[in-house]
Amino acid sequence: MSSEERETILSGLKDQCSLVQKLREEKASKGKINEEIEKIKNLKISFDSQLKAIGVSDGSEDSTGKLILKTAKGTRDFQPAQMAVREKVLSKVIQVFKRHGAETIDTPVFERKDVLTGKYGEDSKLIYDLKDQGGEILSLRYDLTVPFARYVAMNKIMNIKRYQISKVYRRDNPSMARGRFREFYQCDLDIAGQYDPMVPDVECIKIMCEILEDLNIGNFVIKVNHRLILDGIFEVCGVDPSMFRTICSSVDKLDKSPWEEVKKEMVEEKRLDEASADKIGEFVRMSGKMELIDKLKETNLSQSKLAMEGLEHMKLLLKYAEIYGCLNRTSFDLSLARGLDYYTGIIYEAVLIDQNTDEKGELIQVGSVAGGGRYDKLVGMFDPRKRDVPCVGMSIGIERLFSIMEANMLKEKTKIRTIETEVFVTSAQKNLLEERMKLCQELWKCGIKTEHSYKKNPKMLNQLQYCEENEIPFAVIIGESELQNGTVKLRRISNREETEVPRSELTDIIKKHLSELM
């Protein structure tokens, strides 16, 4: 192909695209525009298949051929020590979920793209798409809530209380130092079903409370609010109903930005008039408990039917929270808005409070570690007959909790074991590999967690060092004389005490010692 020929192709392509643009500007018929687009598409497909036919990749690979050895941006490997912390945290979380009678499900890591479309508002741009390799168009899941709603609708489930702990994917600009990643675990519990007001809702708050208490990661407060109260506030402050959601997402920024900035966004970007913004500003600075409900009823908020309904719910929620022993952790906070569009009722968010106070003596908030709310309309979006199944749920910010636990363990110099080996079989002399193997087999048979060196003639020192480094409680030592006597030496690694025991009694003795250690 000469460079002239290529020039011709390129200019032809460019002209064709300009033509499409022009047709659009002229508002030509869709059929006409698509016809012209098809021409480019078909040519493009020819390029793809011809390149493929001659075995050439599509130019997306690094042509230097040098392999850059790293994980994808925003992702990381988990080392054994991190996995051990993670297992510990997750097992506590699952224990709480099970204490409240939840069952678990799993959904695929990717969904048909249309399942995710139109559920996340502005955040949709953060969804990972799969390459079109023929067949369906797929995307990686962005959260566990939308797949859960798809699952409920698809299986025509009327009620379920389920938890799910799985990875989700967001093409965010990750701040890995602050514990934000592109691949991360979510840890959700949701209750679907037609029930009486606030009864499942308060249990979600109770569960959040129990998890954070059981993990013992410091003081926290659970902020609660209600979408109807927020809508009522917007209503009485003169916001047009079409603006409710966008003003709501401005309010959502109050946990990171001061009111002045949020107000600026409302007035300058979203063109809300300043008087309305100021009125909103007065409301969203309020927080409290029962007494705040009464106080609000005395304001012009009482003119809003929406708000009054929300306040009744809030009253019930706080009463139930008191019965469940978590009212002291709960704060009715009008600044809480939550980002996602799909919430329809109560919303909540747990925030860790550092024990330290800042210069002004105020408590420092270190950030959200759990959140959730009621979403009564999401399942209906998947049902062919738009039949709703009301849902309320919560998500634990488990990656943040992992980081906090890791940091705490580092601070307290707690060493965490990554293996559970109970006995290490060592040999004192050479050529005892097979004898070690026989002993391992005896111990495994009795269910004792056992290892030995994979080397034929390992050094005694190395074997014992491995035991000490890995906090293996016992070493069994065999040598020629022990083999002749039918004995072994049992060494307690912690105090280096050695006793000679008859080989026939070894497994019983070890089991006895291990049960004492528990």
Contacts with a second copy in 336-365 (CB under 8 A)? none
* Segment interacting with a second copy (CB under 8 A) among 52-60, 258-266, 368-376, 492-500: 52-60
Q: Is 167 in the site for a second copy (CB under 8 A)?
A: yes
Q: Which of 459, 449, 452, 446 is nearest to 434 (CA)?
A: 452
- Using CB under 8 A as the binding rule, the residues of this chain from 288 to 307 that contact a second copy are none
CB of 300 to a second copy, least distance (A): 32
Q: Which is nearer to a second copy, 168 or 217 (CB)?
A: 168
Torsion angle in degrees (nearest 10) through CA of 130, 134, 137, 139: -20
Crossing angle between the packed helical segments 305-323 and 199-215, to the nearest 10 degrees: 50
Which residue spans within 251-362 are E strands per DSSP?
A: 287-288, 330-333, 346-357
Distance between CA atoms of residues 90 and 104, nearest Å: 14
Cβ 64 to a second copy, closest distance in Å? 10
**Interface residues for a second copy in 388-427 (CB under 8 A)?**
418-421
CA atoms within 13 A on the CB side of 437: 8
CB 75 within 8 A of CB 183: yes
Q: Write out the binding residues for a second copy, residues 108-127 only, by CB under 8 A.
A: 108-115, 117
170 to 229, contacts with a second copy by CB under 8 A?
171, 183, 191, 193, 195-196, 199-200, 203, 206, 210
**Phi, psi dihedrals of residue 430, rounded to the nearest 5°:** -75, 165
> Residue from 31, 67, 241, 497 that binds a second copy (CB under 8 A)?
67
C-beta neighbour count of 161 within 10 angstroms:
17
Q: Name which position in 138, 224, 266, 394 contacts a second copy (CB under 8 A).
A: 138
By CB under 8 A, what part of segment 439-468 binds a second copy?
440-441, 444-445, 447-451, 454-456
Q: Please name every residue paired with 330 in a beta bridge, in sequence order, or none if there are none.
A: 222
Residue 446 CA to residue 427 CA, distance in Å, equals 21
Q: Round to whole Å and give the CA distance between 374 and 345.
A: 5
Name the one residue in this structure whose structure tokens are 């029962």. Answer: 290
* Interface pick for a second copy out of 89, 142, 146, 162 (rule CB under 8 A): 162
Our finding on whether 496 is near a second copy (CB under 8 A) is no
Measured from the CB atom, is 157 or 353 closer to a second copy? 157
Minimum distance between the CB of residue 270 and a second copy, rounded to whole angstroms?
20
Q: Which of residues 81-110 bind a second copy (CB under 8 A)?
A: 83-84, 87, 98-110
Angstrom distance (rounded) from CA 14 to CA 9: 9
Residues between 364 and 383 with contacts to a second copy, criterion CB under 8 A = 382
Q: Which helix (H) or strand (E) holds 378?
A: none
Interface with a second copy in residues 224-283 (CB under 8 A): none
Residue 143 contacts a second copy per CB under 8 A: no
